[in-house]
Structure 1
């Protein structure tokens, strides 16, 4: 009888092509009992493989490739989406479809208890092109948040003076929470909407009603 680890690897290889295989036939191949195959199939399911089937009917794996659960940081998820965005803009229609399909799987796997999705910022309909263009100003925005430095932005034809407070990542794009001095209120701006960004020689100090904590209380 082969070792259990070897047996499980053999079963994974046999099931990978999606063919429905009976426990009886697999038991004959491996010189084990059908009960052993049943236990092995349960073990493969517990390890995360999408094994489909029941005793007596047969088994198969329903996905070509399976991965263990991944715990990604926001920065790692950003990098992954940026890579997909680059592939989607490569000009190869087949690769574009594959990249968009993979991005949809990533979006579906994101936890539902993350930040509330702002109105008009839907993930699944957000274009890949915005993912790439939205990264241009990230370094300057992060630096301005740390330094509490005011910024001049141009969104469309509108110039605005803002106090940058927090960057948020939504799976396909970034947004920034700001106190807008031009409109005298809080706002959430998608980074891909920013045409121009200029650091101003003015710092800001925390003021009641204009801080991130005030925005968070207002949002709840």
Structure 2
């Protein structure tokens, strides 16, 4: 076991707030008591609120958690990107550690952080796909906020490129990729596009106003109606 993994395991064991002796921890982790002493010194130096001493035992005096509700979607995206890059590393130790980190973060994220079951660190799409869409995010965010009419070259799932005039309505983060919900003039209806399949975006300089049947609220109502029919 690598030391970083052992330190994490020590924290998980001690989160119960009980007193744990170095002997018990050493036996549980299959290391020497001297190793546990050094690990406790490292945790203290890292700011973990560990109290106790050799021969008596150790306890954590405050909860140690990753508070996911304090992370913005932008911060979560940045964290995901860093983990995804390491997950693609050729160094097997780095790759394994990144996947382990993703699982640990996934375990403490709130259930409503994303679609059920997708995970976020190593879900469906390869990293190259996720990275491809990042360059479009600034313009898309601005377009959703300012109701900008956008012209887009989009690579369809059959690998043909089409040019669309769209009204961006919503951006959603689905673990490994972003999607954009928009009203598409070409299809005369709502479409959900994968941002990583956008080849080019052009700000037309024009804006749009919500119209009956073409707003985000109309799209959400349409989704709710489909869900209701499926439950029947």
Asked if these proteins are the same fold (TM beyond 0.5), I'd say: yes
Asked if 1:94 is matched to 2:100, the reply is: no
Equivalent of residue 166 in structure 2, options 150, 162, 174: 162
Whole-Å separation in 2 of the counterparts to 1:15 and 1:173: 44
Unmatched runs of 5 consecutive residues or more in structure 2: 1-16, 32-53, 156-160, 225-232
Please report the RMSD computed on the Cα atoms of aligned residues, expressed in angstroms: 3.5
Q: What's the TM-score once normalised by structure 1's chain length? A: 0.66
Whole-Å separation in 2 of the counterparts to 1:12 and 1:218: 59
Asked if 1:200 is matched to 2:200, the reply is: no
Whole-Å separation in 2 of the counterparts to 1:83 and 1:106: 13
Within a 5 Å distance, the mapping from 1:176-187 to structure 2 comes to 176-187=180-191
Change (3 A) 1:15 1:130: farther
Change (3 A) 1:117 1:160: farther
Within a 5 Å distance, the mapping from 1:54-73 to structure 2 comes to 67-71=64-68, 72-73=71-72
Within a 5 Å distance, the mapping from 1:147-158 to structure 2 comes to 147-156=146-155, 157-158=161-162
Within a 5 Å distance, the mapping from 1:44-193 to structure 2 comes to 67-71=64-68, 72-114=71-113, 116=115, 123=120, 124-156=123-155, 157-193=161-197
Whole-Å separation in 1 of the counterparts to 2:77 and 2:146: 23
User: Residue 107 of structure 1 contacts residue 171 of structure 1 at CA under 8 Å; is this kept in 2?
Assistant: no
C-alpha offsets along residues 119-167 of structure 1, whole Å, 9 cap, x if unaligned?
A: xx88522222223222110001111112211112222212222111111
User: Residue 85 of structure 1 contacts residue 132 of structure 1 at CA under 8 Å; is this kept in 2?
Assistant: no
Whole-Å separation in 1 of the counterparts to 2:189 and 2:116: 20
Whole-Å separation in 1 of the counterparts to 2:194 and 2:98: 22
Unmatched runs of 5 consecutive residues or more in structure 1: 1-7, 22-27, 31-36, 49-66
User: Residue 148 of structure 2 contacts residue 168 of structure 2 at CA under 8 Å; is this kept in 1?
Assistant: yes
Higher relative helix content? 2
Q: What's the TM-score once normalised by structure 2's chain length? A: 0.63
Per the TM alignment, residue 206 of structure 1 is displaced from its structure 2 partner at its CA by 0.8
Change (3 A) 1:91 1:19: closer
Whole-Å separation in 1 of the counterparts to 2:86 and 2:119: 21
Whole-Å separation in 1 of the counterparts to 2:212 and 2:141: 22
Asked which structure has the greater CA Rg, the reply is: 1
